[in-house]
């Protein structure tokens, strides 16, 4: 379960339906071209919070069917509707997903006891493991070192996807829980996290930049920091361009230049203007050769 995991996009058609052929191509591109170690399915990048339970299940099915056992698969099942989270956890476990993940419950200001109960309820309902998905900038949920430790007391909670720029907390977590899996969540900070000895990374831009991300991670592990820094610089030039143009939409347009029918993003995300499509194509020409 270590290494570079792509936070998989999902291809949708203009009506917002799953574009199955495009989704299968996305899976193949990540496995065959980018050669990543695993896929993180139905996360933020998969537009999970914009789709129905049925669509979430269908995406889990298609991805497992296409990927088989070629790479590790993590199913993000987190939901404010805890019954849905449990249902999805059972569904993905039955399909053979290697691990589950759940975003911290958001919107309402849940206290820590409630967050802990949420994780234990989901994971104790299935024969699988859980990776906490922590992304404070989007959820508003900041957990302390001690609170992570309390969640980790459940042996089925095996790690955390740490999508935050708090490198002090990241270092403390690494030090305190050497046996837990820690994944870096911000692609633009991959090298810094790798230096702190994380076990892997999960990222949206790996859909197009997976090979470079793998190299950064490997170089850092070999102590070749100068070379890794150079690749992180190129990566961050690319990420700056993507973020300025519209994150998920731009990645989809870049994938289209690689022969992947990545479709469009679901509403309320808007589609790119013609000018921005051109910017995405220029980014692809510059960075994906």
Q: Which is nearer to ligand NAY, 175 or 235 (CB)?
A: 235
Determine contact, residues 204/26, Cβ cutoff 8 Å. no
C-beta separation of 204 from 45 below 8 A: yes
Nearer to ligand NAY, 124 or 206 (CB): 206
Residue number of the CB closest to ligand NAY reads 43
Among residues 105 and 124, whose Cβ is nearest to ligand NAY? 105
The residues of the shown chain that bind ligand NAY, judged by CB under 6 A, are: 7, 43-45, 135, 163, 185-188, 202-205, 239, 247
State the catalytic residues.
133, 161
182 close to 206: Cβ distance less than 8 angstroms: no
User: What is the DSSP code string of 109-134?
Assistant: ---HHHHHHHHHHHHTTSSS-EEEEE
In the bound complex, what is the minimum distance in angstroms from residue 204's beta carbon to ligand NAY? 4
Q: Give the nearest distance from C-beta 44 to ligand NAY in angstroms.
A: 4
| d(C-alpha 103, C-alpha 159), whole Å | 13
Nearer CB in complex with ligand NAY: 30/205? 205
- At closest approach, how far in Å is the CB of 6 from ligand NAY? 9
What is the DSSP code string of 3-70? EEEEE----B-TTS-B-HHHHHHHHHIIIIIS--SEEEESSTTTTGGGS-HHHHHHHHHHHHHHHTTS
Beta bridge partners of 38: 5, 72
155's tokens: 């042996």
Q: What are the residues whose beta carbons fall under 8 Å from the beta carbon of 129, sequence distance 6 or more?
A: 99, 100, 123, 156, 157, 158
Contact 87, 54 (CB under 8 A): no
Q: Which is nearer to ligand NAY, 9 or 151 (CB)?
A: 9
Q: How far is the CB of 52 from ligand NAY (least distance, A)?
A: 18
Shortest CA distance to 26 belongs to which of 252, 242, 243?
252
Minimum CB–partner distance for residue 251 and ligand NAY (Å): 9
**CB 168 → ligand NAY: shortest distance, Å?**
19
Task: Using the minimum distance from each CB to ligand NAY, give the nearer residue, 34 or 45.
Answer: 45
């Amino acid at each position: 379960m270590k290494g570079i995991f792509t936070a998989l996009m999902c291809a949708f058609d203009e009506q917002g339906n799953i574009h199955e052929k495009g989704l299968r191509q996305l899976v193949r591109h990540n496995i065959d071209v980018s050669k990543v170690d695993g896929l993180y399915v139905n996360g933020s990048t998969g537009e999970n919070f914009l789709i129905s339970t049925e669509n979430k299940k269908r995406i889990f099915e298609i991805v497992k069917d296409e990927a088989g056992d070629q790479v590790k698969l993590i199913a993000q099942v987190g939901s404010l509707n805890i019954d849905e989270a449990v249902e999805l956890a059972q569904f993905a476990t039955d399909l053979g997903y290697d691990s589950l993940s759940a975003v911290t419950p958001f919107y309402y200001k849940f206290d820590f006891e409630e967050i802990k109960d949420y994780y234990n309820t989901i994971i104790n309902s299935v024969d699988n493991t859980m990776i906490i998905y922590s992304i404070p900038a989007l959820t508003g949920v900041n957990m302390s070192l001690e609170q992570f430790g309390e969640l980790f007391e459940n042996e089925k909670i095996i790690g955390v996807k740490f999508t935050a720029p708090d490198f002090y907390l990241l270092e403390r977590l690494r030090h305190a829980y050497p046996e837990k899996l820690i994944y870096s969540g911000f692609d633009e900070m991959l090298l810094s996290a790798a230096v702190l000895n994380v076990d892997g990374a999960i990222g949206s831009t790996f859909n197009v930049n997976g090979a470079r991300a793998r190299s950064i991670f490997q170089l850092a592990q070999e102590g070749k920091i100068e070379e890794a820094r150079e690749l992180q610089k190129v990566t961050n030039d690319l990420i700056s361009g993507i973020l300025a143009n519209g994150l998920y939409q731009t990645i989809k347009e870049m994938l289209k230049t690689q022969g992947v029918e990545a479709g469009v993003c679901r509403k309320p995300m808007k589609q790119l203007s013609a000018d921005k499509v051109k910017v995405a194509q220029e980014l692809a020409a510059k960075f994906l050769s």
